[in-house]
Structure 1
């Protein structure tokens, strides 16, 4: 509120003063310095919720774009440019804040607020040229303006960074920083020094993980030489709306402004026409470990929330494929053009990061020709999202689609489907085929008969038989049969399944007769005298028997 009131007292100035000359001063009660087009003004501002004031540059209709991060006393704070070229802030309390002090006295100087939002101190020469001594653009706070740099000055060692606010009432630096990584040619956001978001590489004037719409009409400039490595942006054309990037804690926002100049005393007006989310960043140490484990151990991508929102058009109804028991499923397109399926788990699902990681780890162990490929995940605040490859021909078996729609391995039908998949993976066979002429059974029945005879090794896919641990295979078959038991209440939960898979101790429970298993005697009575076995015969036989729903 203080910012808007302060601006309103200056927007009506007809001939705004844009320069502080030698011997000039500026304090809390005097009219601030405004750029020629009254696009930006500089002055002392008392922030909402705080007692002290800051030296701030603000623009009309928008928050501050720059501030000196040390607060000063409201009643005595003064910005001055003395006749020796020293630009400083003084007050009765605390030491002076030196913005610039030359090695030796410089007498021909001026400090000017430009229409770019840059407050510059220059030395004037007799031939009409100027030398830049100091500029606010070298010390960004939470906002990056067009032509303002991110990167490093190799001559001085100074780094150009954007910082979030510490709190709503305390200015930068806060926990988050926006930086330019010149080696990888990408933008990064750090949270307390650790990277929590990356823009992806800059290729053909576009960042990989920032939406095309947000980058529309932007032109990026890179400088890489012995003097500096830097990044900056401008709008593609002078008449395009002005854009600014603001780091607001875990959010990197882009504001788009459009000017309308008038001939009245107001000089110019500006309004926000659009806001876009460029990045989201919110991580704990647990989350960092989680991401590292998924990348290193399973090759999964941890997507940032912004890219997921952009891919699904902000989870629009047009992109929605369906609604499962644990949340909606959407179709999406990544900036690379890859089509994806996004499963947005319900916020009431109740999983923590550890439980979610366990589920992802389990899915990764089930990479199978019939299982839709898991590409990665996204965690943002209470959101937990799974990202799958998109299957346009919809050729997945019914239970696989049910798995993707119904979410985490939680319902008993999911447990049954998981058991079927486990047996398919071990055997390399489909569940609905017929196996063994002497015993015309489906895969579940065939596995059950082998289990009872102690001959489970015969089930194993020959292509992997020589490279696997027999005990692990036996454990997987054991667990698979527990998952497909006749009565749903007898089947284990997924939490118990994860425990059995990770624990090398003996499994106490023994499997009982599976669901959808047709005994040997009934099969022989219903099949033809030739003992032929077809999928249709199995389906007819199974339909005549009273079964418990899976």
Structure 2
């Protein structure tokens, strides 16, 4: 009996324990469901500075203030990054909180709301027919904020339906033609003001589907038609289809939505960001918000601006003047066109046969089509299911059809009225067939002949004039200077009438400089240049100086030295080291500069610089001794010793590209490309130059300035010196005083060749390809 009672007690204890465990488990589940870190419930709201975090800790919902503002906004951003830079959605963008007493909560009617201290609703999800106290809000790892019905789990509202200025994976942009509802991105008003800006981004469903950026409801950028794989107006772009882009279209229901997803795992996140200037950027975030790279932008060139060249105008970013009229057209307003104002476009020069009266028609001179290759086709295409041959015949037989194009995935596209927003691509694009009068089709060969004849005649005249000028200069004895060194220096100062007046320069005595530098002691040596050492010295007055003593073995003669004095004396500027004087005694040639205790800029910009030596009667010089640094010497100087102002421009261009990329020109030895120049040129042709930008300067707000710097840098490093701009023009380009920049030509890829030539051992019996002796500066790691 006792054993039976003990068994009953034991069984009771077991059942009691199990009940207690079940009760605790239910309490634990209820507790965490009610207070989940990614959830807002009727009983749990968030107040400043509280936040909720998505389940995978990828996104955060909370309160933030833009720079230079005390207003508070509720938004979603990448966790671990500044909210302003990483924000993907803002709730109360039109009604900011004026103090820190705001709350995001579920209201009595079940909607998600943002209220201020006075309980005034500043923003609401605004869903009708919700059941009170029956909704919760969750922040998902996609960045989507979702309002759910607790009972059914049905999605009642989501932030992806009301985008701000970021297009996220799985988000849908589109239109419901039945209701007129559109889901579009809306830009911020400024980088520090999230309120609704002037630009929007979404799809246009008129006949062919394409993306648009609108500025105040007017087209600002256009992607070109979607052909099922990519947008044909975005050349050299990775296939959007492979990137996960897809179209969900129900023509019966009148709904069209674009979305995209990532197929490369979750080690990175890709989004599309539209800044306050209407520029669309593709950003790749490594480690979900830790760092971003700009991999594509609509601001790659000016031709991307909608209708840049007006009706019947074509834009080509590779040409010095980007706008030109289509064949058979001329500027509508020639005066404006010549001033670079192209918006009025072009008009047809010869009436089409189809549009002529019967009395003015010409027999056997029917209209035809001119094939334009690699084009961004115009806006307002009419789509039909004709085959390619049917498309051509239909357009030719229809007087209203002025152009056509064909894509196997889109079908036949035709145009009537006006051709607008046409662009010529370096590759990709489509073939556009433009309708022309018969006489316009036959002018191409004549035009080529005229150009060839003009070039030949011009070349002959130039050669003859050059020959006569050279003979005249020889007869006049130009370029010869004789006499003693000091006499020459004084004579030059007195008789130079064609040059800028030389500022008075003191002439130092050799003994004075020897005393100042302790007889040019090695302990006072600051460095070794291509033409001799530089010493630190102190004059009797106490003034510190830098003394450049020309080496007798440098090969620089008196005339070159004199010219350097004259050139440098003209360059008195607060940002340049000042020339204090010179010394020309015995065999000595010495320059005296102000001393820079903090060293010069080249110390911090990769060993940049070289000797600039001209003769007095030359715009360029040919020297037997080449001095400089690998990767910075222009090809004409490195190979044949020809030096001019354009050689300095080349070196400056290399430096500019290095600053933007954060890489030395000479750091590509073990990579596919031989130099930074080759790398930049490759990305330029792929219209992906933003990929080379240093992460330190990777800021979407400065995208245009960065692109302009890269563009100017490539113009400076063009292979032919005549193609490079002068430094004054470079400054105007960087200051945006020159708006339309010409397209750069291929830069000089000389780095590996120079290195090979310089390091190859001498071989007896081999003939030199150059008469120059080369002295170079070897780069050392910092």
Question: What is the TM-score when the length of structure 1 is the normalising length?
Answer: 0.49
> Higher Cα Rg: structure 1 or 2?
2
Question: What is the TM-score when the length of structure 2 is the normalising length?
Answer: 0.36
